[in-house]
Structure 1
Amino acid sequence: MRKPLAAAFFALAIAGAGAAPATAADTAPTGVGKAADTGKVTSTVSGVVTSATETLSGITNPAPKGVNFAGTVALNNCSGSVVRMPDSEDNDPALVMTNGHCLESGFPGPGEVLVDKASSRTFGLLGASGSRVATLRAAKLAYGTMTDTDVAFYQLTTSYAQIKSSYGINALTLNDSHPVAGSAISIPSGYWKRIYSCDIDGFVPTLKEGDWTWKDSVRYTSACNTIGGTSGSPVVDQASGKVVAINNTGNEDGERCTVNNPCEVDANGNVTVRKGINYAQETYRIPSCFGIDNKLDLSASGCVLPKP
Structure 2
Amino acid sequence: MKKPLIGMLATLLVAGATALAGALPAQAAGAAQAPEIVQAAAADTAKAAPPVAVNFAGTVALSNCSGSLVRMPGSAATDPALVLSNGHCLESGMPGPGEVVLNQPSSRTFTLLSSTGARLATLRASKVVYGAMTDTDVSIYQLNTSYSSIKSRYGISPLTIADTHPTRGADIRVVSGYWKKIYSCSIDGFAYRLHEADWTFKDSVRYTSGCNVIGGTSGSPVVDTATGLLVAVNNTINENGESCTLDNPCEVDQSGAVTVHQGIGYAQETYGIPACFASGNRFDLTLPGCTLPRP
- Between structure 1 and structure 2, the one with the greater Rg is 2
> Which residue does the alignment assign to 1:169?
156
Code of the residue aligned with 1:133 in structure 2: it is L
2:4–2:88 Cα contact (<8 Å) kept? no
SS in 2 for 1:10: helix
Is 1:27 aligned to residue 25 of structure 2?
A: no
Partner SS, residue 2 of structure 1 = coil
Deviations 1:106-150 (A, max 9, x none): 100000001000100000000000001000000000000000000
Counterpart residue number, 2:59: 72
Decide whether the 8 Å contact of 1:3 with 1:102 is kept in 2.
no
For 1:100 and 1:26, how far apart are their aligned partners in 2? 19
Runs of 4+ in 1 over 4 A off after TM superposition: 21-26
Matched, 1:272 2:270: no
Structure 2 match to 1:10: 8
**Closer, same or farther: CA 65–216 of 1 in aligned 2, 3 Å:** closer
2:250 corresponds in structure 1 to: 263
| Kept in 2: contact 1:84–1:173 (CA 8 A) | yes
Q: Which residue in 2 is equivalent to 1:119?
A: 106
1:20-59 to 2 correspondences below 5 Å: 27-29=16-18, 38=19, 49=20
CA contact (8 A) 2:86 2:218 kept: yes
Distance 1:154 1:219 in 2: 25
Structure 1 residues 104-115: aligned runs within 5 Å: 104-115=91-102
For 1:9 and 1:96, locate their aligned partners in 2 and report how far apart those are by CA, in whole Å. 23
> Does residue 1:223 correspond to 2:221, yes or no?
no
Q: Distance in 2 between matches of 1:287 and 1:136?
A: 22
Q: What is the aligned-residue RMSD (CA, Å)?
A: 1.6
CA shift, 1:3, in A, is 3.6
Percent identity reads: 63
Query: How many angstroms apart in 2 are the aligned matches of 1:116 and 1:26?
Result: 27
Alignment partner of 1:143 out of 130, 134, 139:
130
Look up the SS of the partner of 1:161 in the other structure.
helix
- In structure 1, distance between residues paired with 2:11 and 2:192: 22
Q: Residue 44 of structure 1 aligns with which residue?
A: none
Distance 1:187 1:256 in 2: 24
List per-residue Cα deviations over 1:256-300 (Å, max 9, x = no partner): 100000000000000000100000000001100011111111010
Q: Is 1:81 aligned to 2:81, yes or no? A: no
Cα separation, 2, equivalents of 1:204 and 1:294:
30
Once the two structures are superposed, residues 126-180 of structure 1 have per-residue CA deviations (whole angstroms, 9 ceiling, x without a partner) of 0000001000000000000000000000000010000000000000000000000
Native 8 Å contact 2:52 2:228 kept in 1: no
Establish whether residue 298 from structure 1 lines up as the match of residue 285 from structure 2.
yes
Q: Given that residues 80 and 189 in structure 1 are in contact (C-alpha distance below 8 angstroms), is that contact kept between their aligned partners in structure 2?
A: yes
Q: Would you say 1:152 and 2:150 are equivalent positions?
A: no
Q: Report the alpha carbon displacement of residue 91 of structure 1 after superposing the two structures with TM.
A: 0.3
Taking a change above 3 Å as real, the CA distance of residues 287 and 265 of structure 1, as seen in their structure-2 partners, is same
Counting helix residues as a fraction of each chain, which structure ranks higher? 2
| Unaligned stretches of 5+ residues in structure 2 | 21-50
Q: What stretches of structure 1 of length at least 5 have no aligned partner?
A: 12-20, 30-37, 39-48, 50-63
* Structure 2 CA distance for aligned equivalents of residues 75 and 3 of structure 1: 14
Pairing partner for 1:238 from 225, 231, 252: 225
Query: 2 CA distance for matches of 1:244 and 1:288?
Result: 14
C-alpha distance in structure 2 between counterparts of 1:207 and 1:305, whole Å: 17
Who is 1:194 aligned against? Answer: 181
The alpha-carbon deviation at position 98 of structure 1 amounts to 0.2
- Could you say which residue in structure 1 is the equivalent of 2:199? 212
